[in-house]
A and B are shown apart, each in its own frame.
Chain A
């Protein structure tokens, strides 16, 4: 096949490209320029988006003997990922920009451009495993290295996107093995530090970065009954579950610490309460997709009575990239076109905020995902 290897300049994408070459594919390396104003040198934990990273990617491509190009997706990235990130925070939600990038850039704009230019697939260094069943249907599964598993951030991919995606690192038992392979292949990035944090926030200070882009307005901090307990200088810089930085003058009547339960940007209010009030028993989202065949076609659930409904099925749900999956029951319900994926967790779950993505697993398989619109608290208001 003719494949495009997206090369960030990191060790994973370099080894993924190398393996695609070994597998006999015709490989072209492409570095995606995502920043309008790239820094010159890599700093800290960010492993992409600087000129140094693009040079690292180029060196790796030279070593592999494959053609290499830089494609500019900075405008689309600014709109679809950075702009979305700001809009979501401004709406009081907590987005995951890496998922948005996979959904809208790497496996959308880049993939479609690649297909138009005559490529068959996009290869990345993600740790996730694509399995093709006997009917040719593609399934997305967790990686061999559970510690590095990135199936969560790929949960947004649909069957059409999966059909043109290749993850050559998916079954590798450990990242250490990938580094050793890079060293053996003579790739200069073999010992390059792992990247984490958000690539477009250079110093990692998300709150300060957002503060410069969402004009803060002073407002009230209230308890769950709506009674004012303090003031804040900008609701959108708070995230659900946050405890520090509330600066509440008066202690709670029971003297226990209070946490952010909800951010309401419309009336510029932050709702706080006891830790146990963070626990939810249900989450739901109208923006949901299936990663391959839907649960009915997969034989996991039955079609419901109304169009698009899916009966309850047992699954696991994961709400953050590094959260543990928890047992749950999922279904698709709703009136008319207003369908939503509803997930009820078996045990109360902490750390869930609107805007986060809930990825549904059945065993190691990613079944689908939704962006969380609403949650149902496990604890009544009076608690």
Chain B
């Protein structure tokens, strides 16, 4: 039996969501059609949109459904940039180097293809945006700033970000702020959104909804240039609207928010149990982020991230997988080739230490027994991974 501790990658869909999803798939009609069938589908969709919007304290008209979190982030970042940069006077994008790849790569693209200028805001050793540096950059670049984009919580190390402070600073200068709240949504309360947040991205499958469904909040008075051109069905997005996906997202979002405090307290207690177990049983491991600092109120309740200097994350992952624990190294990898995490590098961790990263993300169904079993399995896995790391670094055979 596998203990699933990778909820930040995707969280299991509860039976209630699956059932509602299946029922909604039976609804006939395109929500944009005029006839009664279309109107029926539209009612289902509008209801779902309103319920998702309510979890963030925004109006339904401010929520554009997308085909997932990456599309939401791309629309938020590129859409705001293109609008702000229409006259060519505001090329500067402010962000940290510890953003999710959806943001990093979207901004890279704008730099390469749309004359954007990236100004990197440093993060502290816990992965927190340095708010004074943001303020300095906003002042230094003045009217040339197109937008600020930031995470609400770092998806790898779990450190909550100073969104309210950033929103205040950006709003004071009339600069729009996009927030990637995908890792934070459903984990910590986000509503009411600070006034300076212009756009905010969320994703369904991180809270038990379906993959391929996300949303971008676009506040009243904010315009984004769409990525997709077609029927113009929503603000900032073309494409047939997915009523069933929206229903499933709405149910999952409501369930996550109805018991948000209880779930957060449950996960936080298990997170602290795991962190304590690691501290006492695995002295080679170094915890990361706000959790390591003991700043628990600034850490996601369900994330434990650690590094084992001298071990490779893929060895740790392999050994724990073989022992029945589904965990992650925390960083994205194409074709499965693990890169040293850009988040850890931005935090000042060396490239070699960043290789030995491990992320455990807990969910509502995680139990104390799961955590105790993991704590029991970790010392042997770490010891083996350290031996393998040494062997791979200094091979003896064939020399």
Contacts and interface: CB of A to CB of B under 8 A. Distances in A.
A113 B385 CA distance: 9
Contact of B395 (A33, A54, A112): A112
Interface string B293-328: 000000000000000000010110111011000000
Contacts of B317: 69
Contacts of A28: 322
A142 interface: no
Contacts of A73: 392
Interface stretch (A102-110, A272-280, A338-346, A363-371): A102-110
Contact of B335 (A51, A115, A161): A51
A70 B336 contact: yes
B387 to A, nearest CB: 4
A117 interface: yes
Nearest to A100: B398
A115 B391 contact: yes
A48 to B, nearest CB: 12
B398 A113 contact: no
Contacts of B104: none
A112 B390 CA distance: 9
A118 interface: yes
B108 to A, nearest CB: 16
B393 to A, nearest CB: 9
B384 interface: yes
A116 B315 CA distance: 10
B38 interface: no
B384 A117 contact: yes
Contacts of A33: 335-337
A5 interface: no
A31 interface: yes
Interface string B328-368: 00000111111000000000000000000000000000000
A113 B337 contact: no
Interface string A154-195: 001010110000000000000000000000000000000000
A109 B392 contact: yes
A104 B398 contact: yes
Most chain A CB within 10 A, of B333, B336, B384, is at B336
Interface residues of B, number: 26
Contacts of B335: 33, 38, 51, 54-55, 70
A221 interface: no
Nearest to B318: A69
B396 interface: yes
A145 to B, nearest CB: 26
A116 B398 contact: no
B337 A116 contact: no
Nearest to A118: B384
Interface in B372-399: 384-385, 387-388, 390-392, 395-399
A116 B390 CA distance: 9
A160 B397 contact: yes
Nearest to B338: A72
B327 to A, nearest CB: 13
Given A31-B336, A72-B338, A108 B314 contact: no
B397 A117 contact: no
Contacts of A70: 314, 333, 335-337
Contacts of B321: 67, 69
Given A116-B391, A117-B319, A103 B398 contact: yes
Contacts of A107: 397-398
Contact of B388 (A51, A67, A72, A113): A113
Nearest to A36: B337
Contacts of A38: 334-335, 337
A329 interface: no
A71 B388 CA distance: 12
B395 A72 contact: no
Nearest to B387: A116
A376 B334 CA distance: 50
Contacts of B398: 103-104, 107-108, 156, 158, 161
A12 B190 CA distance: 54
B265 to A, nearest CB: 36
B336 A113 contact: no
B392 A112 contact: yes
Nearest to A54: B335
A161 B397 CA distance: 7
B326 to A, nearest CB: 12
Interface in A260-289: none
A60 interface: no
A74 interface: yes
Contacts of A109: 391-392, 395
A38 B334 CA distance: 9
A76 interface: yes
Interface string A105-129: 0011101110111100000000000
Interface centre among B321, B388, B392 (most CB of A within 10 A): B392
B392 A158 contact: no
A236 B20 CA distance: 69
B336 A112 contact: no
A74 B318 CA distance: 18
A71 B385 CA distance: 13
Interface in B119-178: none
Given A70-B314, A108-B397, A113-B391, 20 more contacts: A38-B335, A38-B337, A69-B314, A69-B317, A69-B318, A70-B336, A71-B314, A72-B312, A73-B392, A76-B392, A108-B395, A112-B396, A112-B397, A113-B315, A116-B387, A116-B390, A117-B315, A117-B388, A156-B398, A161-B397
List the 3 shortest-distance A-B pairs measured between CB atoms, nearest first.
Answer: A70-B336, A108-B398, A116-B388
23 contacts: A38-B335, A38-B337, A55-B335, A67-B321, A69-B314, A69-B317, A69-B318, A72-B312, A108-B399, A109-B391, A109-B395, A111-B397, A112-B391, A112-B395, A113-B392, A116-B388, A116-B390, A116-B392, A117-B318, A117-B388, A158-B397, A158-B398, A161-B397
